[in-house]
């Protein structure tokens, strides 16, 4: 019997950051043949073409597909899903995987899941069962209901999946794979880590803020106001700040435009804008930040392994399980300022094992090699 072909779907930089240790473990499994499909912002130059990082890390990329329609509006997101279903279908037909590995809650990942489901390809899903804000939660639960096997990151998530009707014997609580990197990380930052990008000089060996702020799809239209509140807060704090580019969701063009305009109009020499970091480098930057401010899921799960103080803004991650290092606030300037000052005075927290103990990847790869794929799902009564 030949090796089991597993197609790993990567649709953005966060996908790869969390799947890289799983992919490394899969390469070590003799019974697995990995096929890497890069799509979404993984292949877009304006996001730094993270596919190049994948290849640089020694992974063979089986396919690069372009699925994103320009505009960053609810309409272009919906059309991108439809276009992505077509493109993923073509690639699955060409590659003929035995299984497809999906992580998270992105709309691009949902499209890949829909394509695989209707092609009778078994699906394994990482990070199902979690609760959050925005359309991402609905997409995540859709993926879970279409997937045959589940690798949730927390005990509560595993319980939620079973309560949603998933068979207990298909739910494997393993933890979040990003912890496999974070807990073994050499946190020392190179002197030139912030040399890329544009804006003021930020010394990596002195206190700095890390900001990631994405639009909230279900609140399309208010991202300008919320970004302005965040910019006002950061201007008041006036600490050296690294701001990573937002994702491609509806409203992201407005967020990006406001950041650029603010930096140019206000001569904000404390602000440096950077598109992307490789996975380990990003975790080092997060680990060394005096405080992380924004609404990225990374600031919930990845920061828990590192103890980095976090100010979590708005509703995008509403309902997620958070460790003690995370302080949720409303998207208002004064609230952000007060929370940031509190977190800065507190300093780093004791790391948490809420999202796992750093041994998820080997467990996932081993299960993928040994579980028996099946197609027709039934509710567990």
What is the rounded CA–CA span in Å between residue 101 and residue 347? Answer: 37
Task: Give the CA angle between residues 234, 194, 189 to the nearest 5°.
Answer: 105
Q: Is 211 exposed, middle or buried (0-12, 13-18, 19+ CB in 10 A)?
A: buried
pLDDT, residue 237, reads 96
What is the rounded CA–CA span in Å between residue 64 and residue 175? Answer: 29
Is 85 in the same domain as 164? yes
Is 264 in the same domain as 288? yes
Beta bridge partners of 326: 310
Is 175 in the same domain as 30? yes
Q: Phi/psi of residue 203, each to 5°? A: -80, 115
What is the rounded CA–CA span in Å between residue 365 and residue 361? Answer: 6
Is 331 in the same domain as 249? yes
Domain housing 142: 4-183+357-370
- Whichever domain contains 150, its CATH number is 3.40.50.2000
pLDDT, residue 248, reads 85
Is 204 in the same domain as 174? no
**In a domain? residue 89:** yes
Q: Which of 187, 40, 168 is nearest to 109 (CA)?
A: 40
**In a domain? residue 308:** yes
- In the chain, how many domains are there? 2
CB atoms within 10 A of CB 67: 23
Q: Which of 370, 359, 368, 381 is nearest to 35 (CA)?
A: 368
pLDDT, residue 247, reads 85
**pTM above threshold 0.85:** yes
Is 337 in the same domain as 365? no
Contacts of 302 (CB under 8 A, 6+ apart): 17, 178, 182, 283, 286
pLDDT, residue 255, reads 85
What is the rounded CA–CA span in Å between residue 121 and residue 199? Answer: 47
Digit-by-digit pLDDT tens for the chain (381 residues) are 689 999 999 999 989 999 999 999 999 999 999 999 999 999 999 888 999 999 999 999 999 999 999 888 889 999 999 999 999 999 999 999 999 999 999 999 999 999 999 999 999 999 999 999 888 899 999 999 999 999 999 999 999 999 999 999 999 999 999 999 999 999 999 999 999 999 999 999 999 999 999 988 777 777 788 899 999 999 999 999 999 988 888 788 888 888 888 887 888 899 999 988 999 999 999 999 999 999 999 999 999 999 999 999 999 999 999 999 999 999 999 999 999 999 999 999 999 999 998 899 999 999 999 999 999 988 876
Is 15 in the same domain as 164? yes
> Which ranges of 131-194 does DSSP label H, i.e. alpha helix?
134-146, 155-163, 178-182
**In a domain? residue 351:** no
Is 17 in the same domain as 161? yes
**In a domain? residue 174:** yes
Q: Phi/psi of residue 62, each to 5°? A: -80, -30
What is the rounded CA–CA span in Å between residue 48 and residue 159? Answer: 38
Is 162 in the same domain as 224? no
Is 163 in the same domain as 229? no
Is 139 in the same domain as 222? no
CB atoms within 10 A of CB 168: 10
Name the region of 187 (left: φ>0; alpha: ψ -120 to 50; beta: rest): alpha
Q: Phi/psi of residue 300, each to 5°? A: -95, -55
Q: Which of 230, 233, 212, 210 is nearest to 222 (CA)?
A: 230
Do residues 5 and 97 lie in contact, with contact meaning Cβ atoms separated by under 8 Å?
A: yes
What is the rounded CA–CA span in Å between residue 198 and residue 177? Answer: 31
**In a domain? residue 75:** yes
Is 11 in the same domain as 156? yes
Which tokens go with 286? 């997060």
Do residues 157 and 132 lie in contact, with contact meaning Cβ atoms separated by under 8 Å?
A: no
pLDDT, residue 249, reads 83
What is the rounded CA–CA span in Å between residue 315 and residue 134? Answer: 7
**In a domain? residue 189:** no
**In a domain? residue 285:** yes
**In a domain? residue 27:** yes
């Amino acid at each position: 019997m030949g090796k089991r072909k597993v197609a790993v779907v990567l649709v953005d930089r966060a996908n790869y950051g969390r799947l890289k240790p799983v992919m490394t473990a899969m390469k070590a499994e003799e019974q697995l043949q990995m096929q890497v499909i890069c799509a979404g912002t993984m292949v877009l130059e304006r996001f730094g073409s993270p596919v190049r990082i994948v290849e640089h890390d020694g992974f063979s990329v089986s396919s690069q597909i372009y699925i994103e329609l320009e505009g960053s509006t609810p309409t272009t997101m919906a059309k991108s899903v439809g276009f992505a279903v077509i493109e993923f279908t073509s690639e699955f037909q060409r590659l003929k995987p035995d299984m497809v590995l999906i992580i998270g809650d992105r709309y691009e990942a949902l499209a890949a899941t829909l394509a695989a489901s209707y092609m009778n390809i078994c699906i394994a899903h990482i990070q199902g069962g979690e609760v959050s804000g925005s359309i991402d939660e609905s997409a995540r639960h859709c993926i879970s209901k279409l997937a045959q096997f589940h690798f949730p990151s927390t005990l509560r998530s595993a319980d939620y999946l079973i309560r949603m009707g998933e068979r207990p014997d298909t739910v494997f609580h393993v933890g979040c794979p990003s912890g496999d990197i974070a807990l073994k990380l050499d946190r020392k930052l190179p002197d030139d880590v912030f040399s890329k990008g544009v804006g003021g000089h930020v010394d990596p060996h002195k206190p700095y803020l890390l900001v990631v702020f994405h639009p909230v799809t279900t609140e399309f239209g208010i991202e300008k106001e919320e970004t302005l509140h965040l910019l006002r807060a950061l201007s008041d704090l006036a600490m050296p700040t690294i701001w990573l580019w937002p994702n491609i969701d509806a409203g992201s063009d407005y967020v990006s435009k406001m950041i650029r305009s603010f930096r140019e109009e206000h001569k904000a020499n404390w602000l440096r804008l950077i598109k992307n970091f490789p996975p380990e480098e990003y975790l080092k930057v997060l680990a060394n930040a005096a405080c992380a401010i924004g609404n990225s899921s990374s600031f919930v799960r990845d920061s828990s392994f590192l103890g980095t103080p976090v100010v979590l803004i708005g509703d995008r991650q509403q309902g997620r399980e958070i460790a003690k290092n995370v302080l949720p606030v409303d998207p208002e300037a004064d609230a952000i300022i007060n929370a940031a000052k509190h977190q800065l005075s507190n300093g780093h927290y004791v790391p948490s094992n809420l999202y796992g103990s750093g041994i998820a990847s080997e467990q996932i790869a081993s299960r993928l090699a040994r579980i028996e794929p099946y197609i027709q799902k039934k509710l567990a009564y």
